[in-house]
Structure 1
Amino acid sequence: MNSGSQDDSQVIATSSGRGARVLGAIERVGNRLPHPLYLFLIMAALVAVGSTIAHAFGAQTMDPATGEPRAVEGLLTADGAVYALTSMIENFVSFPPLGLIITVMLGIGLAERVGLLSAFMRGAVSSAPPWALTFVVVIVSIMGNLASDAAMVIIPPLAAVAFYVVGRHPLAGFAASYCAVIAGFSANFMIAGTDVLLAGITTSGAQIVDPEMTVTPLANWYFMAASTLVLAVAITLTCTRYLEPRLGSFTGHIDVDTEAPITREEKRGMSWAGAAMVSFIALVAAVVIPGGSPLRGEDGGVLQSPFMDSIPVLILFFFIIGAVTYGVVSGSLTSASEVPQHMADALKDLVPFIVVIFVAAQAIAWFDWSGLGMLVATSGAEALEAGNLDGMSGLVLFSIFVIIPNFFILSGSAQWALLAPIFVPMFMMVGIDPAYTQAAFRISDSAFNPLVPVNPMLPVVLGLMQRFAPKSGLGTLFSIVLPFTVVVWVVWMILFLIWGGFELPMGPGHELYLD
């Protein structure tokens, strides 16, 4: 793709000023942080030392499940050492996020590698009518989290070209799409890998208080589906009412032929895949809806039932059926042996996650076994009650707090694995459902993603942006995304307050307050 000679320094903010110095300082500090593996090693060491000190002083807390006092056990004692050594493998293999995310990624990874997700995104953007272009681009970009980080490099260039074809500034399309992908990362109409991963981590934190508590991948579904529409409107208005007037007209030239158009085979593949996936949903509904369905609970309910426990497996089948159908019809799958190979390739991307999870699982298990997690939760709950922050006000403050580590720890799952064992039990002790705590985290974690200077994808994104703004730099990128970040966070937080004010369920079976 070729760019013109427009002087972008005259229409976009430069990288000088106090803001750039602040972002530069954040980047330097973030670069000095250790790998998430070592962060969890530090957490494990703190749990070991802290629990041993608390044990030496005879600290105890109240077990909410039994109502009986519970003494804190020390990890650096004989019993603690035996527990740590004998439970290490069990802690790892039984850690909820591990099996959940591997299962789901087998399906989503296959769909990505046969080209289904890419074709859907390209098709949606290229077929959008001019009057609805911005909104369609933003919706597709928000839903791009189905393809994880790949959406950052697939959709924004397509959006830029689509804007250029209808006579609008391509940088506006690029910026709106990029911000929708990264700032709206948690929102979606569908259940994605992020929902599965975070639900598993939340379950681990919740079980510190209630060993029977399970947080399903659907825990935030209602809220995130509504958020998708609300954020799409907010980002669309920010682009059309603020960014585009600021950019002015584009005087350069783009060779649109270099962008791969969607082919007839891909269209046929998507049509057949869509029909297959809808048929699968209809089949599941036909099995679940009858009152005597084996997928219903003992009392005939759905919220506590084999169906809810099967959601990750159903997501796996949903994407496998769509991916295989698309691959066969479009020709991207030429032999049966390619299916397991694509699945194996998808799991290769999870290897760094699995390495980190091994250590994270130990730290969280130690936090629970020692009783230190319960002690921290009860102490924090007492502080919340003393400050009258035991409801939505406390969740808002927690969401604001999340902004700080978000600048330094890129991985949202790593952040949540660090924070969930502390804040999920803490809010449960004052009656807040873990789904609300998880949503409060996701809002700030997603909204401020565009401003994280330690994102390793930044050089790639900057290179793509320079196709349409050759003289731009990181300061340019940050100055463009800042208004989107502010708008997304404010609008999302207002929606969260309204949701909590009316005590609406975050997802099936997850109200504001625990029963």
Structure 2
Amino acid sequence: MSSTDNSIESGPLYRFLLKVERAGNALPQPALMFLLLTVLVVLLSAVISGLGVEAVHPVKKETITAVNLMSVTGLHMVLTDMLKNFTGFAPLGTVLVAMLGFSLTEKSGLLGALLRLLVIKSPRQLLVPAVLLAGIMSHTAGDIGYVLLIPLSAMAFHSAGLNPLAGLAICFAGVSGGFAANFMLSVADPVLSGLSQEAARIIDPAYTVTPVVNWYFMSVSSILIIAIGTLVAKKITLPFLGEYKGAAERTAPEPLNAYERKGLLWAGVVFAIFVLLVLWGTVPETGFLRNPANGSLLDSPFLKGIIPMVFFLAAFTGVAYGFAAKTFKSQSDVTNAMQDAMVTMAPYLVMVFFAAQFISLFNSSNVGLILAVKGSELLKDMNLSAIPLMIGFIILTCVVDLFLGSASAKWALMAPVFVPMFMLLGIAPELTQASYRVADSVVNIISPLMPYFPLILAFANKYDPKARLGTLIALMLPYSIAFTIFWSLLLFAWIWLGLPLGPGANLLYVMPGQ
């Protein structure tokens, strides 16, 4: 493997990624970046207002002019709206509520036990797809996949007589390369849908984007990621690495103890009861979770309250597991777990404060709407259909992903421009968001600026002390390329077939009154 590593680390790709790393490191932290962007919006509003740039509102047919934020009116807007911008930021409440529930599944050990069970119990011939599945499911509750599952997978591969670096690479591909794919909702869903909704309301103030709008597509994407990841692993990764001849001692992952098995049993009972109650409330036409006026499921308390439903499911199963497995011994353990989750959200809250100000001022100044109208007119003249537009958008997002790792920070930056722009071209926000999620995922595993990249390299060094940045990139590049090609093709096929991306989520957007 050393000769290949040397060629990688002296090749153009490695030198390019080093330049990307240096350029990305020069960028400010996300919170500071949004502060600087807010200042830029203020200056830009003054320039556009001074130049008299105008656009015609696509619905109201009124002339849109920029609001100069460097005026007394702009100052009043900043002072009076700052608190409202933060507390009314669409993703904030949903993310915090979801995290309170998911914290109990993580802190109780439920999620970790499920992932361990999946990896440990998988037969050798099914270890690759099992690790990919576990990786995909791990980001339901945040970043446990990076911290727990990746080293566990390396250990499981080593124990099974396979190269542990293969287990590490395959799991990394599932956790990070397949970040957007999932069979269940994750914390990312309310974050991104809230930002999409804020952006969509630049054009349509009544537009709603729920956390489940990409669920159908992301569920099918999970199957694709497992299939393509398994193919790449068996055809490229395992033959490339060959037999492990390193000095690391072979150890098997610890099996579940009696308390953990009891915890899983009780969590399973609670899960089954919860699912039965949901079916009781949604399957019958008169179900108590349907819309009481017309019996609809699409416009129902169930879908509108999907985040509270996720909270209750995660909280009830987590608490049941915790007390049965003795990881929770008192009610204070439960509240402490939820408090710890809020501590980990501190960087997110700081970023959200500045991102909320940026998005609000971007919208209030009319700069976002003017850019959307002008950009859509330019693209309309090019007469491009949805698929070519999404190809260009995916490529742009992949480039941005090399420099800015945070999915929510990137979308907070890109959504206010591209969501309304594509809406004016007849493309629904749900499709723009799905395209973004595909592109955001596939570059993570080769981007040196991905926050967990150094941690993954540290895990690799346990088995190969000579492993460096080029080693990891060489392992992950086949997954990145394969995922980009086949996931994009799945999206284009989805568009061509006209399939809904999720419950009530269409591909196309029709302007009101048309």
Q: So what's the TM-score if we normalise by structure 1?
A: 0.95
Residues 81 and 513 of structure 1, relative CA distance in 2, 3 Å threshold: same
**Whole-angstrom CA distance in 1 between matches of 2:338 and 2:501:** 32
Alignment of 1:486 onto 2:478 = no
Alignment of 1:429 onto 2:424 = yes
Query: Do 1:381 and 1:390's aligned partners in 2 also have CA atoms closer than 8 Å?
Result: no
**Whole-angstrom CA distance in 2 between matches of 1:10 and 1:17:** 12
**Whole-angstrom CA distance in 2 between matches of 1:64 and 1:277:** 48
Alignment of 1:242 onto 2:236 = yes
Residues 261-270 or 333-342, more deviating: 261-270
Q: Counterpart in 1 of 2:85?
A: 91
Q: Counterpart in 1 of 2:334?
A: 339
**Whole-angstrom CA distance in 1 between matches of 2:461 and 2:182:** 29
Query: Do 2:37 and 2:358's aligned partners in 1 also have CA atoms closer than 8 Å?
Result: yes
Q: Counterpart in 2 of 1:3?
A: none
Residues 172-181 or 97-106, more deviating: 172-181
Query: Do 2:280 and 2:287's aligned partners in 1 also have CA atoms closer than 8 Å?
Result: no
Gaps of 5+ in 1: 1-7
Query: Do 1:435 and 1:510's aligned partners in 2 also have CA atoms closer than 8 Å?
Result: yes
Alignment of 1:495 onto 2:490 = yes
**Shift of residue 469 of structure 1?**
2.0
The percent identity for this pair of structures is 36
Q: Counterpart in 2 of 1:274?
A: 268
Alignment of 1:169 onto 2:169 = no
**Counterpart selection for 1:52 from 38, 46, 61:** 46
Matches within 5 A, 1:21-420: 21-252=15-246, 254-257=248-251, 259-293=253-287, 295-297=289-291, 298-420=293-415
Alignment of 1:467 onto 2:465 = no
Q: Which letter maps to 2:114?
A: F
SS in 2 for 1:45: helix
Alignment of 1:9 onto 2:17 = no
**Whole-angstrom CA distance in 2 between matches of 1:345 and 1:314:** 21
Q: Counterpart in 1 of 2:500?
A: 505
Q: Which letter maps to 1:96?
A: A
**Whole-angstrom CA distance in 2 between matches of 1:430 and 1:42:** 30
**Whole-angstrom CA distance in 1 between matches of 2:295 and 2:43:** 48
**Whole-angstrom CA distance in 2 between matches of 1:346 and 1:41:** 25
**Whole-angstrom CA distance in 2 between matches of 1:155 and 1:37:** 29
**Whole-angstrom CA distance in 2 between matches of 1:294 and 1:246:** 55
Q: Counterpart in 1 of 2:450?
A: 455
**Shift of residue 152 of structure 1?**
1.3
Residues 63 and 285 of structure 1, relative CA distance in 2, 3 Å threshold: farther
Residues 247-256 or 107-116, more deviating: 247-256
Query: Do 2:131 and 2:153's aligned partners in 1 also have CA atoms closer than 8 Å?
Result: yes
**Whole-angstrom CA distance in 1 between matches of 2:4 and 2:74:** 62
Gaps of 5+ in 2: none
The CA deviation string for residues 207-255 of structure 1, in whole angstroms up to 9 with x for no partner, is 1111111111101100000000011110111010111111122234654
The CA deviation string for residues 359-411 of structure 1, in whole angstroms up to 9 with x for no partner, is 11111111111221111111111111111224121111011101111111111
**Whole-angstrom CA distance in 2 between matches of 1:317 and 1:198:** 21
Q: Which letter maps to 2:84?
A: E
Query: Do 1:12 and 1:246's aligned partners in 2 also have CA atoms closer than 8 Å?
Result: no
Give the 4+ runs in structure 1 shifted more than 6 A.
Answer: none
**Whole-angstrom CA distance in 1 between matches of 2:200 and 2:427:** 11
The CA deviation string for residues 10-39 of structure 1, in whole angstroms up to 9 with x for no partner, is 575652322221111111111111111121
Query: Do 2:192 and 2:408's aligned partners in 1 also have CA atoms closer than 8 Å?
Result: yes
Query: Do 1:61 and 1:72's aligned partners in 2 also have CA atoms closer than 8 Å?
Result: no
**Whole-angstrom CA distance in 1 between matches of 2:351 and 2:316:** 31
**Whole-angstrom CA distance in 1 between matches of 2:62 and 2:137:** 47
Query: Do 1:11 and 1:246's aligned partners in 2 also have CA atoms closer than 8 Å?
Result: no
Q: Which letter maps to 1:9?
A: S
